[in-house]
Amino acid sequence: MGRKAFCFPGQLQEKPILKEDHPLRTDPSLERWLEKASLQTSFDLYSFTTRGNEVGFNLKLQMATYLLSMIHFYRLQSQGWVPDVIAEHSMGIYAALAASEAITFEEGLWITESIGRILEREGRLSKGAMVSIVGLPLSDIQTIQQSLNGFCLSIANYNGSKHFVLSGAEEGIEKAISLALSKKAISATRLTFGVALHAPSLTSLRGEIETLLKTIHFRSPKVPILNHLTVQPLKQEEIRDFLAQEIGQPVYWDRCVERLIQEGVTQFVEVGHGATLTKLIRWINRDVEAFSAGDRFKEGTIE
């Protein structure tokens, strides 16, 4: 029998809507987790607002992403779903760490909020941007990078053979969109980020994040986590450093999926609100089973 991977997605790109009839709203533990989150951060998922201490759209999306991943994770866990391995994409690392019990739910939320605030501040200073380009091979993406040499664009996400995300200065990203479309990309879409996430310019934040994380005692993950940079299991003693450096390094999602398949994973469960990772996995390898827990809960195919 094949192995099962839980996959934790990165930041949502739009405000999640949990309508009255959404199955998550009948989950008896949902209110408890949301109340915990609201007490700690003042963020309310339903209204997508914070009391008093107002924060930016991206930080609210980051907190919503974390909460929804954790709520889906607890729901899967209560149904007896246990992963053999955990994979994570970008900021999905925070929920991945909490799910593997390397940190607590509260610590994960605190890290999400604290790093999010640093990124928010950085975005105000540097005016970074990101674009998702679908339909062009790596060689075309590299050509775009080279022809916009002065804008220091970097590949932030390697999501598949024809799906990449570029990070860099806002003006350069706008030019990259035009170039990508002129090279016949299927789409070139600006992401919501106001900062060039996963670009080398953010390595300057490494020291600040390391210092911030000194207050957290990281435990050994109970389920192995494949990190999105080296595509190796993340060791307890590496976690702090990984969190401090990963925001300035790319995400090799394609390699993560390929590595997991090599290691016998045949079922990928996306633990979050959307199905982005599920679709990326489908592109990387059509033979494995991949589905979004959020979608299955909605359809009622997972209770």
Verify binding: residue 175, another protein, rule CB under 8 A: no
Verify binding: residue 190, another protein, rule CB under 8 A: no
CA distance 186 to 133: 8
Q: 270, 276, 277, 278: which is closest to 297 by C-alpha?
A: 270
Tell me the closest approach of the beta carbon of residue 75 to another protein, in angstroms: 20
CA distance 210 to 220: 18
User: What does the DSSP assignment read for 273-303?
Assistant: SS-HHHHHHHHH-TTSEEEEHHHHHHHTS--
Binding another protein (rule: CB under 8 A), the pick from 23, 84, 121, 134 is 134
Tell me the closest approach of the beta carbon of residue 5 to another protein, in angstroms: 17
Which residues, at least 6 apart from 295, have a Cβ–Cβ distance to it below 8 Å?
275, 278
Let me know: does 129 contact 199? Beta carbons within 8 Å.
no
- Near another protein by CB under 8 A, which window of 66-74, 123-131, 183-191, 218-226? 183-191
Q: φ and ψ at 169, to 5 degrees?
A: -65, 150
Binding another protein (rule: CB under 8 A), the pick from 19, 47, 53, 184 is 184
Three-state secondary structure call for residue 131? strand
- Name the DSSP class of 36: H
Verify binding: residue 135, another protein, rule CB under 8 A: yes
**Residues near another protein (CB under 8 A), total:** 20
Binding another protein (rule: CB under 8 A), the pick from 152, 181, 229, 231 is 181
Interaction residues for another protein, span 230-289 (CB under 8 A): 276, 279-280, 282-283, 286
Residues in the chain: 303
Which C-beta is closer to another protein: that of 127 or that of 186? Answer: 186
- Near another protein by CB under 8 A, which window of 37-45, 74-82, 104-112, 128-136? 128-136
Verify binding: residue 298, another protein, rule CB under 8 A: no
Three-state secondary structure call for residue 239? helix
Interaction residues for another protein, span 19-48 (CB under 8 A): none
- Helix 105-126, helix 92-99: angle, nearest 10: 170
Which C-beta is closer to another protein: that of 11 or that of 276? Answer: 276
Verify binding: residue 188, another protein, rule CB under 8 A: yes
CA distance 15 to 2: 35
Tell me the closest approach of the beta carbon of residue 289 to another protein, in angstroms: 9
Residue ranges binding another protein (CB under 8 A): 132, 134-135, 162-163, 181, 184-189, 276, 279-280, 282-283, 286, 299, 301
